[in-house]
Amino acid sequence: MLQPGSWIAGYRVERALGSGGMGAVYLAKHPELPRSDAIKVLGEQVGEDEQFRKRFLREAEVAAGLDHPNIVTIYNRGSSDGMLWISMQYVPGTDCAQELQRAQEKAGAQAGLPPERVVRIAGEIARGLDYAHRRGLLHRDIKPANILLSDESSEFGDGIDRGYRTDADEQRVLLTDFGVAKAANETESLTVVGTVLATLSYASPEQLKGQPVDARTDQYSLAATAFHLMAGRVPFKGDGTADVIAGHLSKPVPRLSEMVPTVPPAVDSVIAKAMAKEADDRFANCRQFTDALQSALHQGGMTAYTPPVAARPQMNPRPAGPATPQPRQHTQHTPPPGQAAGAQPFGQPMGRQPLGQTPVPQAYQQHTPQPAYLSSAQYSQPQHPARNPSAGPSGSNAVMLALLIGLIVVAIAIVVAIFLVA
């Protein structure tokens, strides 16, 4: 570990930001520009492998060509005193692993982050991954610790105006640690003494079996990460490494909806597809996966709030003879026996007579304040009674009624005449 005040490649170390199996990350002052960068320094045992050093420097150079709002920018890379290092954009804030740890400290060991937030984070990372994949670069180590969340109350201190600002309700989400990334067209993998660099809890089956990998291996790891963030636990766990590997290779993905009550069952099938054992059975890209995840979560949430559709009742038939319409009532409605107080018959706006006498549950009325089954003929009828309540039917209706009665009388006369003749 480098101590504050020490130097590497012209950078002055200010403090440690974190450490892992491959090395440590420090906040360091840029040697020339008025800014601080994040510098990842790989362990000396890693840098001793000459073949690894060459691939690392080459692939870090490829990763430095990525320019995307959801990917941490790589500035430089090199070797100093036998140690490999990468300087990159410093993002003030936290990461998903720390956010999950805070949530579990407050709510319990199995608590996770809100599903809506996890889906938004996964969607942002999917954009960055698909961008990198289109440029022939894989990440191969997607996990909560590599997903950075910017500080809500500050801008980036990298000295560059990128046009990004954070609001209280919108953290920036960035993917970091492309240091173990590899070009998609290369068959060699960055491994140390045959050990897979990707964290086992999120590694795809093809990674664990040492098979060729493509963009869909990052999709698998992203889905496993989303599962962990929502459920508060990794998809496959056990007493040892062998149990975790066996889970990735042969066991079905646990049902997330059984662990998190707010997650609808539709999410289970989306996670299962993205974490399919065979890469060909997964989504075409990461964005398709997160779009399907968002749709499944939204669909499940809408189902919980959408009231059931009531059966369409029969309308009262129009009377054959003259009827005396009722004047507009402004008195308080008295519910019929068996109907809850305060509930109104279906389709009755406040202060009006009901269109029918078939009441429906009050929950439906709250979502449907207007009649849902008026026919086009009813829409053409006046919605208010006539000015003269004692008036009979209109003149046109009276004429039609008289003609109808005349036709009936003529028909009866004809039938009687035929009977007499016979």
**What distance in Å separates the CA atoms of residue 180 and residue 369, rounded to the nearest whole number?**
59
The winner for highest mean pLDDT among 58-72, 105-119, 264-278, 298-312 is 264-278
Lowest mean pLDDT among 89-98, 301-310, 319-328, 376-385: 301-310
Known catalytic residues? 141
Question: In CATH, which of 3.20.20.140, 3.30.1330.200, 3.30.200.20, 3.40.50.2300 is domain 1-89?
Answer: 3.30.200.20
Q: Is 5 helix (H, G, I), strand (E, B) or coil?
A: coil
Are 83 and 49 in contact by the 8 Å Cβ rule? The answer is no
248-252 CB contacts, 8 Å cutoff, 24+ apart: 248/200, 248/203, 248/204, 248/205, 248/208, 249/205, 249/208, 249/209, 249/277, 250/277
Q: Rounded mean pLDDT of 261-274?
A: 96
Who wins on pLDDT, 372 or 85?
A: 85
Question: Which tops the pLDDT comparison, 24 or 71?
Answer: 71
The pLDDT tens digits for 206-215 are 999 999 999 9
Mean pLDDT (the chain) is: 75
- Of residues 69, 89, 189, 79, the one with CA closest to residue 139: 189
Tokens of 211: 């098979």
Q: Which one has a higher pLDDT value, 35 or 82?
A: 35
Whether 329 shows a pLDDT value over 70: the answer reads no
59/84 Cα distance (integer angstroms): 13
CA angle 363, 309, 330 (to 5 degrees): 50
Report which DSSP code applies to 265: T
pLDDT band for position 402 (cuts 50, 70, 90): confident
User: What's the pLDDT score for residue 379?
Assistant: 35
Q: Which of 267-271, 363-367, 401-405 has the highest mean pLDDT?
A: 267-271
CA distance 348 to 351: 8
Q: Torsion-angle region of residue 159: left (phi > 0), alpha (psi -120 to 50) or beta?
A: left
**Rg, Å, the chain Cα set:** 35
Is pLDDT above 80 for 112?
Answer: yes
Q: Where are the domains of the chain?
A: 1-89, 91-156+166-304
91-156+166-304 belongs to CATH 1.10.510.10: yes
H helix or E strand, kind and range, residue 175: strand 173-175
Tell me if domain 1-89 and domain 91-156+166-304 are identical in fold: no
Query: What pTM value is reported for the model?
Result: 0.65
Average pLDDT over residues 241-265: 95
